Structure 1
């Protein structure tokens, strides 16, 4: 391995002390005292917590800012920020040695976890022991200042990731609430959500709905509902030609064109029953049954394998509105009903035909779909931003945590400023 100036190979055991949590017995649990932090609570501090009022060794007490390493079953690290607590077994409290930056150490161990697990027990390893910590070596920057600067850079990316994830969660909650309101109450002629206090509602097979709405089965809303190629589809596959969609290509209200297969133009014409047109709906039958999307213009004339194809009557139902409905809780609930609430493994043409839909008039459908598509677009943009941030973090970790790229210039600038 190439020697990096200012770096030295270190064992993980040389960088910190790893103190295992306390082995609590059921008799130690109670409703008062210190919260007991297990792997579940380390992952999510809002998980249910047991408490202990007994005598717990000081070494097993954790405080805000302590570095915790889950070394069994789930392998990950966290800096604890949720108050004084007692650490359960299968978790290490990591106390860094002199000259080691705590945040850098966390990032360093995280970066080398895949190599550490592979080198220790192979790809199926589920725990890390002290023996592995003493055996595994990797290049480590000697200067604590350099460690801290690297940690600062990566922490800024982590902060951006956390903020983006929180914003995605917030926007998803807003979208879910909007969808529930819009598909239950709709929008009146003034652009306001209806309510039973100000508008007329009526009973329906799907509960209370605005008096202007109807409830109809998909069969009454579509010209045709059929299934894609189901008999030995692979016999038609070719290296190039007409695109063929499969279940993996269909997500909620989105078509992914990764890993497409193809058939010849001749076979596509022969298999005309399953040939797709712009505005058709395709619905997954197995895997994630009920997942639905609309065929966009660029896939007009393509074909599909083992998907339910619904061809809406444009004068009564908009394609995007119907897709949004099938993917909503209202649609998913009906998909699950066939199995008594259990995850249904196979969604059939007959079930699509009988699936009930709340139907506003066309203009209201358009208003509803415009609002929800805008929300989806915002979420898609945020998701792309998050993916870019993860890619940036991966690249930075590869460069900075291996010494490939140094923060020497920044180090020198700081030295000059200090003089």
Structure 2
């Protein structure tokens, strides 16, 4: 290895470039006009596959003839796949290939030489350097990486044994992150299924879900939303509004609130950036004075109001939190105060976000092109199933319990990502050496 030592390297580390310690293999795409090149048994990795991170297979397939007729190269594992092009997140993203495959021309495969650099260590090293790789791209925002650029990327290397231990530690936390992501995905799917069951079958007097209509047709009746329990009604949103004026509002508009009237501190003016799916984000960037708030009091939000985005990403919905205090809604959202004695705001919020009857209703009546909007009449005519209020309470209770489990796993996932970022900064720079960490762990195990 040709080593040009950097200053302040940890003891035992060396500095070099990727071209000195790895092989860079470029890919290619067979002609899409030749049917005989496609649909074979040769794995062929497309650019988007780099987001799989650890690749044991890819959906793309070419034939042996397609491989021979293009610049694609069949490469054995392990290798680090690097996205070379793209304005999105693909350029600079890396993945670890764990199967033999070929790639298109927008992916490079880096194979470590094994004597100075381990491929698993290289994967973690470049994963940490995503922004750096993008900055090294040629051609600015629309540019890309190339073989020459990658081969010139500097890399600081600990001894092979230390590389192995660092990779093992980071692999372990990657596994924990993947397992937590899987749990979150499964819980969200369970919640979607439970939401559908509760909003079509509800909870019987015995505390259990009613049997499906196909099994107990005598328990159901037809409605504009399909089969619903006989005890239920169908209500339009206009029938469920609270006794406040106005119960449904968007604005202020025009001269009612001028841009120059916004202040650096004061009472929050809420917008689409505060309204996420099921989640209110209390990150306030726009404020009005108390005097202006009083003038625009008709646009004030209340705890458990529904807020729905009507510009940009249309239809995101959340509830206003209990501790909101004084705040105004804006012209980019609808804010709706329901009669909470008649209908659960929480169930209404979930239906706006997920239920096919609400989403279909919105889709049929959207306005505009790229900036769609939702009309007042569209909202007012939105139909919702209306179980007895006590049954709604039980439904909400079950859904909130599951949501809390999801939130706990999401928080755990965020902590694991934070822990990983800290470990990468420490271990991949040599700021913390893995050898003392292992010695400390061994000592703790011995004293246990």
Calculate the TM-score normalised by the size of structure 2: 0.84
Moved more, 314-323 or 406-415: 406-415
Deviation at 1:317, TM superposition (A): 1.0
2:177 pairs with one of 158, 161, 182: 161
Change (3 A) 1:291 1:119: closer
Deviation at 1:280, TM superposition (A): 2.2
1:13 pairs with one of 10, 13, 19: 19
Other-structure match for 1:36: 44
Deviation at 1:221, TM superposition (A): 0.6
Other-structure match for 1:251: 276
1:67-106 to structure 2, matched below 5 A, reads 67-73=80-86, 74=90, 75-81=92-98, 83-97=99-113, 98-106=115-123
Moved more, 292-301 or 333-342: 333-342
Other-structure match for 1:3: 9
Change (3 A) 1:294 1:42: closer
1:407-418 to structure 2, matched below 5 A, reads 407-410=434-437
Residue 353 (structure 2) pairs with residue 327 (structure 1): yes
Change (3 A) 1:304 1:99: same
Preserved contact between residue 289 and residue 335 of structure 1 (Cα < 8 Å): no
Residue 391 (structure 2) pairs with residue 368 (structure 1): no
Deviation at 1:12, TM superposition (A): 0.9
User: Hey, which bits of structure 1, 4+ residues long, moved more than 6 A?
Assistant: 340-344, 411-416
Moved more, 276-285 or 100-109: 276-285
Preserved contact between residue 30 and residue 53 of structure 1 (Cα < 8 Å): no
Structure 2 distance, partners of 1:370, 1:295, is: 18
1:383 pairs with one of 400, 404, 410: 410
2:336 pairs with one of 290, 302, 310: 310
Structure 2 distance, partners of 1:336, 1:115, is: 41
Preserved contact between residue 36 and residue 52 of structure 1 (Cα < 8 Å): no
Residue 31 (structure 2) pairs with residue 25 (structure 1): yes
CA offset digits 1:115-174 (Å, max 9, x no partner): 233134375264222221232223222x10111111111111111111111111111111
1:203-352 to structure 2, matched below 5 A, reads 203-223=222-242, 224-232=247-255, 233=257, 234-306=259-331, 307-330=333-356, 331-339=358-366, 345-352=372-379
Deviation at 1:271, TM superposition (A): 1.2
Deviation at 1:85, TM superposition (A): 3.6
1:167-182 to structure 2, matched below 5 A, reads 167-182=183-198
- Which sections of structure 1, spanning at least 5 residues, go unmatched? none
Moved more, 111-120 or 146-155: 111-120
Structure 1 distance, partners of 2:252, 2:433, is: 56
SS at match of 1:124: helix
Structure 1 distance, partners of 2:205, 2:436, is: 63
Other-structure match for 2:74: 61
Preserved contact between residue 14 and residue 156 of structure 2 (Cα < 8 Å): yes
Other-structure match for 1:144: 160
SS at match of 1:54: helix
Deviation at 1:245, TM superposition (A): 1.6
- Which sections of structure 2, spanning at least 5 residues, go unmatched? 1-6, 444-448
Change (3 A) 1:86 1:50: same
Moved more, 192-201 or 19-28: 19-28
SS at match of 1:297: coil
Preserved contact between residue 308 and residue 348 of structure 1 (Cα < 8 Å): no
Other-structure match for 1:392: 419
SS at match of 1:68: strand
Moved more, 3-12 or 58-67: 58-67
Structure 2 distance, partners of 1:84, 1:116, is: 25
Change (3 A) 1:346 1:115: same
Residue 129 (structure 2) pairs with residue 121 (structure 1): no
Deviation at 1:308, TM superposition (A): 1.5
Other-structure match for 1:50: 61
SS at match of 1:157: helix
Preserved contact between residue 338 and residue 344 of structure 1 (Cα < 8 Å): no
